[in-house]
Every structure is written in C-alpha cells, then in structure tokens.
Amino acid sequence: MTDRAWFDAAKGDIPQWAASMPKDADGTTIDWDWVRSLDLAHGVGTIPEPTPQSIHDALKADYATRERLESIIAQCNSAFMTDFDRFIGSYRLPRALAYANRRLNDNINTLLHLGEQQHLWAVSRERRGRATIAVLKPYSGSGPSNDDQGMLDLSGEAGGTSAGNTAAENSDVKFPTTVALDDVQDRTAAILDARAERRKAQRFQKRAGDAAMARANLSGATSPGGAALPGGAAASGNATGHHPKPDWRDAYLPGRDVDAVMGIDIETTGIDPARDYIIDVGFEFMNMASPRPAGEPETYAYEQGYYAAGDAYGQSRLAFGVPPENAALGNALIAKLTGIDVRGRSSEAGYRLFDEWPQAQAGLLARLTQQPYVAHNATFEHSWFMLNVAGYAESYRAGRITIIDTLPMSRQWDPGAVPTNEHPYGDNTLDAYAKRQGALDSAHNERHLGLEDSHIMLVAMKHHLAALKAQGKGPWGSTGRAGVGGKSCGRKR
C-alpha cells in the first residue's frame, strides 16, 4: 500500500484487537468505536481559537485524548505477544495509534507554548516519579524554567528566538491569567506510578501463589537440602568476587557460537516511542569469530578521526526529520546531547520522517532479520522498532529476530562493573563499558550519534568476548549457552 492507506487497514484490524484486548493498561474497558472514529492520519489534536479559554479547553481535551490513547498503546505489546493462537495478525494498529499520538503530543507542547505567550501560565519540566512532566504554574512575570524545549518562534523562522528570552517576553500579545490550571496539569507521572503499583501487586500475588504451590508439593519434601536455583550467583562471578544476581536481561546475553552481528543505535527526540521521533540511525556489521568478509571497503570515515574501522564493515548512517510543529518548538536537550538541532530537521526542509517512510522501514527490517542485532540496552531500540517499523513486531513474534544486548554483558561478565554507592549495579553505561574494554579512549566520551556509538559497542563486545573465551568464562563458562544466544521468540502452542 502507498501513501496513508495503511491507516484504514489498521482500523480494519480493530475487531481482532477488540476480541483479544477488551481493557487497556489501566484496567479500563476500551471504547473501540471511539478508536474507530479517530482520524489517525490527519491528527487527533484540537486546534483552538487564540483566546485564553479556548487554549485552556484545547489543552484539557488533548490531555484527555492522549491519556486514552497511551493506555491502549501500553497494553498492545502484552496482548500481541501473548496471543498464542495468533488471532491478531498485525501490529499496524498500535503503530497507527502511536503515529497519531506523536502528532498529538506536538500539539500539546504547542498549546503549552501558546499559553506561555499569552501569560496564562509558566511551564517547567520536572521529574515526578517515573516521568518528566510539564508543570503549569501561575504566570508571575518571570520566564519558564524549561531546559528541555526550545522556544516557539512566532515569526515562523527556525532559530529566530534568542535563547536568553522567554516566549512570553517575545510576544506582543498580553493577556491576564484568567484560566484555571488544576484541570490542565500533566497526569503522566501519576498514571505511570499507579500502573507500576498494580504490576507490583500482581507480581506479589503470583509469587505468593507459587510459594503456596511449592509448599503443597510433597515431592519437594523428599529433596535433601533443596535443589539449586538455576543460574545461581556462582554462575556469573568475576575476578573481583562480585556475583551479580540473575536478571531478566540475561536472556539477551550472547552464546559461545555468536559470529556475524549487526550493531545498531538510534537517537531520538525523547525517550517515549509513542510521543517522540527517531532522528538518527547508525548501524554496522562485525564478525565476532570469523574473518572480516573479503571485498569490503578497508576504511570508513567516522565523525571521530581517532576511530578506526578495524573489523567493521557495511557502515551506514541515516538521518530523519520531524514534523514542522515539532521543529518549531526546538529541543535544547537533544541538541546539547547529540548535536542534532531539530529546528533544522523539519519535513518542510526536506527531511523525511521515519514513521512516514515505508521504504526506510522495510530496508531496516531486512537488515534486522538477516542476523542477530546488537544494541546497548536493547529494550530501548526494541520498543521503538515495535511502534515505528512496519513488520518488526510480527517478525519478532515469529522468531525471525534475535537481539543481543551488551548491557547485561557489562553487568554480568565485566569485572570492572563493581557496584558502588553511585552505581548500585555497577557503571554499565556504554561509555564506561567501552572504556573498560579498550574500545574508547579515556580522554573521550560516548558521542551519542548512532553510527559512532554502534562502532564502539561492537569493538567492546569483540574485545570482551575474546577475553572471556581465553579465560573460559561468560559464554564459555559452565552456564554458557551454545549457539548465538540472544533473545528471540517463536510460536507457542
């Protein structure tokens, strides 16, 4: 299909989802007729009249819509992955909902800026629990404390507002603060905290039930001393005597036969794949055991002149854009972290948006399925691919994708990852791991660009695996896995 016909196809999947997922992540019954009524392709946000009450009402309506959408999106992964009878054939509906939610989030941020310009409120970005949210406070004549966003340029020209002035100070429109703020506060943090508490209670109930079943199992009474727990602390001890506990991320550890892999890293405008955009993708290939393929170019020019391609091959760097509304707002935090200024990445400036570019998605999916892909904290990349790459969720569920993560490699197998007060589980950032494994000079830091970070990750992984093999540890230890290892799924019956 071309253009945006896939939105109609996504809505055609609603009966499948409605039969398998009657409630959202907060336990609320989903109104699937409401979902069917949404114009996912052209926007679900509210465009108000430029009056104080209209801006307030539009923001209130958009927050309510976002809460409903995100609670549905949050439940989709669980419903899809536990649909063992494969009643749900496609993941395109969650992708379509996420597409609409990103534009809705842009509209919300635009309304927040309009309110600042009209002196309805001051906005500060504050960490609350599990989220950073926009907190509205009465306008007092001082500028908003917001380091995460740029300023909305009223002239329509990117970069026209100086960093030293607030949007309110640059606006010629003066309105008194005449709107209530209590009903237009961002509830994201409270929603996520409540959701986490429910999951915690469910896990507690499950553990209690499992313990009761174990006590009722008479065969356990005849097992002298009890059975050793699989993957116990001794399984991953290192030279320092530090014995990390088994962790769910251990499923992403490589096996002893791992060889050809693709390293990948993405840069985004934020941390939420249902709100933010992919703006940079870098990937390259490297063989962990066999020789580098013959005929590949011998050198590659990374941004860092001191990087040497070494055994890497097939390097690629992809740049993507953001909608004009997102570009107008700017993103000072991402610009500082990555050097990418989204004000120059508008689709109007010729940049293609990743979630609107099916050919780019198809090309990336083809690479992701050819061999295991490696990422540092791979669940981040995985969550973005689920809601951005057509066919990824279906391929993952079918077992055609294998994911390896260097984060648990650092945590479980790196003697340098010793817990400290500052890092209770050890310092396992890519920067720290790459430096300990000789992939990054101590005088330099992680670049936070996709290709460069992919490169130091793969170099570190190869160095680490070679050292572990020589020592008979890690994949070659007593609990090491045969094959390539990593996390993959298959059809279950």
Could you report the per-residue pLDDT of 68-122, keeping only the tens digit for each?
A: 999 999 999 999 999 999 999 999 999 999 999 999 999 999 999 999 999 999 9
Distance CA 408, CA 454 (A): 16
Q: Give the closest residue to 90 by CA, choosing from 2, 5, 15, 3.
A: 15
pLDDT at 493: 33
Band of pLDDT at residue 490, cut at 50, 70 and 90: low
* Cross-strand pairs, 491: none
Which of 201, 196, 193, 191 minimizes the C-alpha distance to 69?
Answer: 191
Residue 153 has pLDDT above 70, yes or no: no
Amino acid 242: pLDDT: 61
**CA-to-CA distance for 214 and 296, rounded, in angstroms?**
57
Question: How far apart, in whole angstroms, are the C-alpha atoms of residue 137 and residue 149?
Answer: 17
pTM: 0.86
CA distance 480 to 236: 9
pLDDT computed for residue 492 by the predictor: 41
485 DSSP assignment: B
In this model, does residue 415 exceed pLDDT 70?
A: yes
* CA max distance for the chain: 82
- Range of lowest pLDDT (80-89, 171-180, 428-437): 171-180
Query: DSSP labels for 384-450?
Result: HHHTTSTTHHHHHHTT---EEEHHHHHHHH-TT----SS-TT---SHHHHHHHTTSS-TTS-----H
| CB of 374 closer than 8 Å to CB of 264 | yes
Q: How many CA atoms lie within 13 A of 82 on its CB side?
A: 7
Top pLDDT among 410 and 220 is at: 410
For 150-183, b/e burial (b = at least 16 CB within 10 A) is bbbbbeeebeebeeeebbbebbeeebebebebee
**Nearest-angstrom CA–CA distance, 407 and 375:** 8
The three-class DSSP label of residue 80 is helix
Cα–Cα distance measured from residue 96 to residue 101, given in angstroms and rounded to the nearest whole number:
9
Strand ranges in 236-300 using DSSP code E only, listed in sequence order: 260-268, 278-287
Mean per-residue pLDDT, 262-268: 97
Q: What gap in Å lies between CA 404 and CA 461, rounded to an integer?
A: 10
Does 199 score more than 70 pLDDT? Answer: yes
